[in-house]
C-alpha cells in the first residue's frame, strides 16, 4: 500500500512541472521534446540527466503518447 501511495504522490508532484532544463534530472519516464524543436521526440527514463540538444542547452517538455505521429 505504501508503494502505491508514493507513486500517486510522485505523479501529482510532476503533473505541475511539464518542462525541465538541460542538466536537470528527468522527473518521470516518458517522451520529451526540446523546446525549440517540438517535432523531435526522445525517450528518457526517470533520473536521467537531460542533455543539450544540438550542442545547445534547452528546455525539455514532456509529450503525451498521443501527441506523437508517424510522418
User: What pLDDT sits at residue 18?
Assistant: 62
User: What pLDDT sits at residue 69?
Assistant: 47
Report the SS3 class of residue 37. Answer: coil
Per-residue pLDDT of the chain (71 residues; tens, 9 = 90+): 455 555 555 554 444 446 789 999 999 999 999 999 989 999 999 999 999 999 999 999 999 765 544 44
pTM above 0.85, yes or no: no
Q: Among candidates 56, 59, 51, 14, which has minimal Cα distance to 34?
A: 59
Is 53:42 a contact under the CB 8 Å cutoff?
Answer: no
Q: Where are the domains of the chain?
A: 2-64
Question: Other C-beta atoms within 10 Å of 50: how many?
Answer: 21
Report the SS3 class of residue 60. Answer: strand
How many Cα atoms occupy the beta-carbon half-sphere of 1 within 13 Å? 0
Is 40:33 a contact under the CB 8 Å cutoff?
Answer: yes
Amino acid at each position: 500500500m505504501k508503494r502505491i501511495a508514493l507513486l500517486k504522490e510522485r505523479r501529482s508532484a510532476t503533473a505541475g512541472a511539464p518542462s525541465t532544463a538541460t542538466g536537470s534530472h528527468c522527473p518521470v519516464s516518458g517522451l520529451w521534446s526540446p523546446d525549440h524543436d517540438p517535432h523531435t521526440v526522445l525517450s528518457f527514463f526517470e533520473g536521467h540527466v537531460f542533455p543539450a540538444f544540438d550542442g545547445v542547452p534547452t528546455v525539455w517538455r514532456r509529450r503525451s503518447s498521443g501527441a506523437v505521429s508517424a510522418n
